[in-house]
Amino acid sequence: MTDKINISSLSNDSGSGQTIITEKGEALSRNYFLKEKTVGISISESDNLAELGYGVAHLNDAIIEIARYIVATGGKLVYGGDMRSRGFTELIFDLLAYYKADKTLQPNERFYSYLAYPISTTLEDKQQAALIQNVSFIKVSPPSDIKISEAKELFEKTTPENLYQWSRCLTKMREEMEITCDARIFIGGAMRKFKGKCPGVLEELLIALEQKHPVYLVGAFGGITREAIEALKGNQPESFSEEFYFGNADYKNMTDIYNDKHPDNSIDYKKYLIKLQSIGLKGIADQNGLSEEENLRLTITPHISEVVYLILKGLTNCFTK
C-alpha cells in the first residue's frame, strides 16, 4: 500500500502519529509557533526580473504572502529599506493595517523598519505619527568613526567619498538589524545601481550566515539571491568578480577607499564566493530545518504557495520542540 499524499501534494505526511490537540493552550502554541521570533526579509527588485518572465507585481505578491503567514503564526517582521511610495516597506504597512493576528502583540510590535542614515532623514514626523500603530521605526545612527556629510549632499552627489559613507552607514544598519533576527528570507536583489559595499541582499546574507541564523533562499526571481545560490552549489557566477562591478568608476574608487581604510574587512568578491562555496546547500540545510533537497526545491520553484510551505516547514522544524 502506497503512502497517502496530503491535499497540498507537497508532502507524503499523512498526519499519522500526530496527537490530537485537546488543550486550548497547545492549540495556540501550534498556531503561534513563531511567537517571540523575528524573521527578517531581504528583498529588492532584480535586474533580470523581466528576463525571467516576472514583474514587480510578482515580487509584491511574494512579499505579501510570506509576510502574511509569518504574522499569522505569531512572528515579527524586520525589514531594512527606504520609504519610497509603493515600495516593499509600504506594502507591509498596508498588510499589517488590515491583517490582525496575535492579539497579545501590540500592533507596532509586529513590524520593525530599520532605516540607515541618510534614509532615516526622509521619514517625516507626520508620516511616522500616522504609521506608529503598525510599525516601530529604528533609526540607526552613522558609525562614530567617520565624518558624515549632510544628508542632502549624500543624496545628490555620488562621489566615491560619499559612496564610502553610504556603505558604512548601510553596513551598520544591517549588522544591528541582524542582531534582532532569528531567521531571514532572501528574494531577488539588485546587482546594479546599489549603494553599499556590495549588493545589499548579498551583504545581509553574509551577515546572517556569520550569525549562524537559519536562512531561506528563494531563487525564482533571480537577482543576487540566485547568484548566491549558484555559489552555494559550488559554481562561479560572474557577479562574484570585481570586473562585474568595476565598470562603474565611482564604485571602483569607493572600493579603493574602503579597502585602504579597512584592510582586515575589505570588499573582496572572491572571498565572498569562497565563503558561500564552503558552506554549500548542506550548510544551509544544517541550520534552517529543511533537507538539502527541500532547499534545492526552494531555490527553483516558481510557485509562491510552495515557497511559503517550504519556509514555514523549515521555521517549524527550527522553532518548535
CATH of the domain at 245: 3.40.50.450
Residues 4-51 pLDDT 10s: 444 334 444 444 444 444 444 444 456 789 988 999 999 989 999 999
Total domains present in the chain: 1
Strand partners, 154: none
Is the residue at 257 inside a domain? yes
Is the residue at 4 inside a domain? no
Is the residue at 62 inside a domain? yes
The CA-atom distances, in angstroms, between 22 and each of 27, 34, 73, 208 are 8, 21, 19, 38
Residues 169-220 pLDDT 10s: 999 999 999 999 999 999 999 999 899 999 999 999 999 999 999 999 999 9
Q: Computed from CA positions of residues 4, 7, 11, 13, in that sequence, does the dihedral angle turn out positive or negative?
A: negative
Is the residue at 308 inside a domain? yes
Q: What pLDDT is stored for residue 104 in this prediction? A: 66
Is the residue at 24 inside a domain? no
Is the residue at 217 inside a domain? yes
Residues 216-271 pLDDT 10s: 999 999 999 999 999 999 999 999 999 999 999 999 999 999 999 999 999 999 99
Residue numbers of the domain that contains 251 = 33-319
Q: What pLDDT is stored for residue 237 in this prediction? A: 97
Contact 311, 66 (CB under 8 A): yes
Q: Pairing between strand 136-140 and 183-188? A: unpaired
Is the residue at 2 inside a domain? no
Is the residue at 48 inside a domain? yes
- Three-class DSSP labels, the chain: CCCCCCCCCCCCCCCCCCCCCCCHHHHHHHHCCCCCCEEEEEEECCCCCHHHCCCHHHHHHHHHHHHHHHHHCCCEEEEECCCCCCCHHHHHHHHHHHCCCCCCCCHHHCEEEEEECCHHHHCCHHHHHHHCCCCEEEEECCCCCCCCCCHHHHHHCCCHHHHHHHHHHHHHHHHHHHHCCCEEEEEECCCCCCCCCCCHHHHHHHHHHHCCCCEEEECCCCHHHHHHHHHHCCCCCCCCCHHHHCCCHHHHHHHHHHHHHCHHHCCCHHHHHHHHHHHHHHHHHHHHCCCHHHHHHHHHCCCHHHHHHHHHHHHHHHHCC
